Amino acid sequence: MAKPISIEVWNPSGKYRVVSTKSMPGTRWIRLLTDNDCRLEICTEAKTILSVDDILALIGDRCDAVIGQLTEDWGEVLFSALKRAGGTAFSNMAVGYNNVDVEAANRNGIAVGNTPGVLTETTAELAASLSLAAARRIVEADQFMRAGLYEGWLPHLFVGNLLKGQTVGVIGAGRIGSAYARMMIEGFKMNLIYYDLYQATRLEKFVTAYGQFLKANGEQPVTWKRAATMEDVLREADVISLHPVLDKTTYHLINPERLAIMKKEAVLVNASRGPVIDEVALVEHLKANPMFRVGLDVFEDEPYMKPGLADMKNAVVVPHIASASKWTREGMATLAALNVLGNIKGYPVWGNPNQVEPFLNESATPPPACPSIVNAKQLGLPSSKL
């Protein structure tokens, strides 16, 4: 017999049983479920990552929907168990769903939700923070101070890179990449070079307009360039931020050969997906190039780092916190809850999952729709006309 899983129960007499594998920020998501006749069970196990067996125990014999996390392995075993328990919906509290076997969900008729549209600015801000922290050696300097090593000002103490007037490179100029680019351009008057399969017209127009504004005020205008190849960005940029999707074509996008063509004092930032960087090669490059710096929010084998990375003073590493602003995390919890609630209630799927503001307005009732279901088309779910 499986070991019992500790839970916290809200609205015990609710008609629909919804399980959340983790406690999530805020309380609105709880109210939305319990006010709509859901019995909500929140796992309170003191484990960072639940196993498949743990989640099977949570699902039990009857379960209408589950809200899960990107650290969990959602495949045939869990989706078939959820189907047997009468469930029809699962939502990641994340925009990414690399942890989800969508085909397995399709086979079992389970709608898979995610939470886009609420992470753009927060993730871009974290990438910008990593860029500045790495360029100006902030973490090194902080550790130096805390160790009591500061004896007075010195000309060469923690000399880093000036960002103003340098070139920022963006690989993947979608919503987050473009938001990051705007922050770096407007904040530090950096020039832009970007690579994307699609032209970032709005971003180009912004840089052009901002450049004209600077020129009109007697300052050096900023410029933009759409690179023909990714290698052009790596060669030319002083700060490079990665914002691609993760698929077979972007696995180890940054490899030994591409690291070798970057500037010796470049800053590389990754707040997208860990496996886009060959982390072993990165460690070797950091060792060989002490003025090359990196800021990482994600890792190839999360939650672990490749051997040697933690020892690199020219690496700033944080534990996957790009979305960790209060507003964003509470919004993600709300969207995940509304994904499963909408499916339980038979609501259609929202027409544009990247425009979710109506669901986040706490002073209004959310639209009767599922904010984002990634396999809606495969399951034949109707689209909202709102």
Q: Is 202 a catalytic residue?
A: no
Single out the catalytic residue among 39, 258, 273, 293. Answer: 273
CA-nearest of 316, 171, 180 to 243 is 171
Q: Is 302 a catalytic residue?
A: yes
| 112-133 residues labelled b (16+ CB within 10 A) or e (exposed) | bbbbbbbbbbbbbbbbbbbbbb
Q: What angle do CA 220, 170, 229 make, to 5 degrees?
A: 105
Q: Which amino acid is at 74?
A: W
Sign (positive or negative) of CA dihedral 48, 51, 57, 59: positive
Assess contact for 210 and 222: CB atoms under 8 A.
yes
DSSP-assigned letters across all residues of 225-262? EE-SSHHHHHHH-SEEEE----STTTTT-B-HHHHHTS
Q: Is 273 a catalytic residue?
A: yes
Sign (positive or negative) of CA dihedral 226, 229, 232, 237: positive
Using omega within 30 degrees of 0 as the cis cutoff, is the peptide bond preceding 353 cis? no
Distance CA 83, CA 94 (A): 22
Single out the catalytic residue among 45, 121, 125, 302. Answer: 302
Q: What angle do CA 369, 372, 373 make, to 5 degrees?
A: 100
What is the spatial order of strands in the sheet that 315-317 belongs to? 224-226, 191-195, 167-171, 239-242, 267-270, 293-296, 315-317
User: Catalytic site residues?
Assistant: 273, 302, 320
